[in-house]
């Protein structure tokens, strides 16, 4: 298991590379060019600027999260070909600075979705929260209208300046089915996986978060069956998975331990975090510790240990602790604690078979 840490870039992250350097066992940063809009080709000079910052701090840049996929690709519009060409050129450029894994997702309109970014927890920290009733069966067009009429009402991702754009996107997805999305994903993979393979890069799809349809939008990467289907669309090691325990874990039906065993050699990148799922379908992000949530983190690390996992791992969203002001889910403290928990489990499971190398 090779530990990496997500970093949003100079001036774009409250956590510094110097701070990350002090977390035991972190060897690389998980990065992206967050200022480049989805669909655009990444400028080489911007890539090289990150390369230089990482070099100075002594981190590798093996994992990119994410090169985002333009909505026209997910929608299957004729204009997608231009964006796919840009994507291919970005893959080629990334290979030139040694990138090994590109994480991406195929979620329509939204990436991860929550209803409260700072829900107070009993211990005085705050965390990302998902309240099912605010999203299930909600008509998105109604919601746009309600927010426009009531300035008090808001929701993460539904900021007033984004509403018009959101309404347009919802319109574009009207009538788009899950099967349409699968066809569009297949077309995308057929185009880019051979390029990635040639460049020595493994593509790693991130599951949908939460793993079910939201606001009537189809979501297709949600469970073992869909991951199986994804892998079979293009049966090549360069077509892989970012196995995110927190995204998949929001659905208690998902058995992540068995997914690790089944998809072992197709998981170049793992996100490990915990969530507590309630009976009504709400969930809150907790510390990484197994007992604090409903995801079997100890079992997950044990499974990675058993398959001899050599891929990249990062802790994922954490709570906001000790008054830290940071990007939602991306503070320093809880993710650093998470890493130490993961190392603790890993080393303990390793000890049975071989001594820990000093
Ligand atoms: C949340 C992340 C996701 C992830 C993308 C990958 O923090 O796990 O935003 O980066 O879905 O494309």
Say which CATH topology domain 2-351 has. Answer: TIM Barrel (3.20.20)
What pLDDT shows up at residue 152? 80
What pLDDT shows up at residue 358? 60
Annotation says 70 is catalytic: no
Q: To which H or E segment does residue 28 belong?
A: strand 26-31
Share of the chain above pLDDT 70, in %: 98
Return the best residue to mutate from 4, 15, 32, 65 for the ligand 1 pocket (most ligand atoms within 8 A of CB).
65
pLDDT exceeds 90 at position 162: no
Which position among 317, 320, 334, 341 bears the catalytic label?
Answer: 317
Annotation says 317 is catalytic: yes
Note the pLDDT tens digit of each residue in 219-231. Answer: 999 999 999 999 9
Task: Please report which confidence band the pLDDT of residue 57 belongs to, taking 50, 70 and 90 as the band edges.
Answer: very high
Which position among 60, 271, 288, 320 bears the catalytic label?
Answer: 271
Annotation says 330 is catalytic: yes
Give the Cα separation of 101 and 30 in Å (integer).
10
What pLDDT shows up at residue 168? 93
Q: Given the CA of residue 111, which atom of ligand 1 is nearest to it?
A: 11
Annotation says 206 is catalytic: yes
Annotation says 288 is catalytic: no
Note the pLDDT tens digit of each residue in 219-273. Answer: 999 999 999 999 999 999 999 999 999 999 999 999 999 999 999 999 999 999 9
Annotation says 34 is catalytic: no
Q: Please tell me the residue having the least CA distance from ligand 1 atom 3.
A: 112
At CA 358, angle to CA 60 and CA 19, rounded to 5?
A: 40
Return the best residue to mutate from 70, 111, 320 for the ligand 1 pocket (most ligand atoms within 8 A of CB).
111
Our measurement of the distance from residue 229's CA atom to the centroid of its chain's CA atoms, rounded to an integer in Å, reads 19
Residue 205 is encoded by which pair of tokens?
A: 């799809």
**What's the gap in Å between 206 CA and the centre of ligand 1?**
7
Q: Any residues with Cβ below 6 Å from ligand 1, and which?
A: 65-66, 103-105, 111-112, 206, 244, 271, 316-317, 329
Note the pLDDT tens digit of each residue in 117-161. Answer: 999 999 999 999 999 999 988 898 988 888 888 878 888 888 888
Q: Please tell me the residue having the least CA distance from ligand 1 atom 2.
A: 112
Biggest CA pair distance of the chain? 64
**What's the gap in Å between 355 CA and the centre of ligand 1?**
35
Note the pLDDT tens digit of each residue in 333-346. Answer: 999 999 999 999 99
Give the Cα separation of 274 and 296 in Å (integer).
8
Residue 263 is encoded by which pair of tokens?
A: 């998809």
For 101-131, b/e burial (b = at least 16 CB within 10 A) is: bbbbbbbbbbebbbbbbbbebeeebbbbbbb
Note the pLDDT tens digit of each residue in 293-308. Answer: 999 999 999 999 999 9
**What's the gap in Å between 77 CA and the centre of ligand 1?**
24
């Amino acid at each position: 298991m090779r530990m990496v840490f997500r970093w949003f870039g100079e001036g774009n992250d409250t956590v510094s590379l110097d701070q990350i350097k002090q977390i035991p066992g972190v060897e690389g940063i998980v990065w992206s060019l967050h200022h480049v809009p989805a669909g655009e080709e990444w400028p080489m000079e911007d890539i090289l600027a990150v390369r230089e910052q990482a070099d100075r701090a002594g981190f590798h840049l093996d994992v990119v999260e994410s090169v985002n996929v333009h909505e026209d690709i997910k929608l299957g519009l004729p204009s997608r070909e231009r964006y796919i060409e840009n994507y291919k050129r970005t893959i080629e450029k990334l290979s030139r600075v040694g990138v090994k894994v590109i994480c991406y997702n195929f979620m329509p309109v939204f990436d991860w979705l929550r209803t409260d970014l700072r829900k107070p927890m009993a211990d005085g920290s705050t965390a990302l929260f998902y309240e099912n009733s605010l999203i299930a069966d909600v008509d998105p067009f109604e919601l746009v209208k309600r927010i426009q009429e009531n300035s008090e009402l808001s929701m993460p991702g539904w900021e007033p300046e984004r509403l018009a754009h959101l309404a347009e996107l919802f319109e574009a997805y009207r009538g788009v089915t899950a099967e349409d999305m699968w066809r569009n994903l297949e077309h995308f993979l057929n185009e880019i996986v051979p390029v990635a393979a040639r460049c020595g890069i493994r593509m790693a799809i991130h599951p949908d978060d939460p793993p079910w349809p939201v606001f009537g939008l189809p979501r297709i990467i949600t469970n073992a069956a869909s991951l199986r289907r994804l892998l079979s669309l293009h049966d090549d090691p360069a077509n892989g998975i970012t196995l995110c325990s927190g995204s998949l874990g929001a659905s208690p039906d998902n058995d992540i331990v068995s997914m690790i065993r089944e998809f072992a050699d197709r998981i170049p990148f793992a996100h490990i975090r915990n969530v507590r799922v309630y009976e009504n379908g709400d969930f809150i992000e907790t510390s990484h510790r197994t007992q604090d949530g409903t995801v079997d983190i100890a079992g997950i690390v044990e499974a990675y240990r058993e398959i001899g996992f050599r891929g990249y791992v990062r802790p994922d969203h954490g709570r906001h602790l000790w008054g830290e002001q940071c990007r939602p889910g991306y503070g320093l403290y809880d993710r650093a604690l998470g890493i130490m928990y993961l190392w603790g489990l890993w080393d303990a499971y390793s000890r049975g078979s071989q001594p820990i190398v000093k």
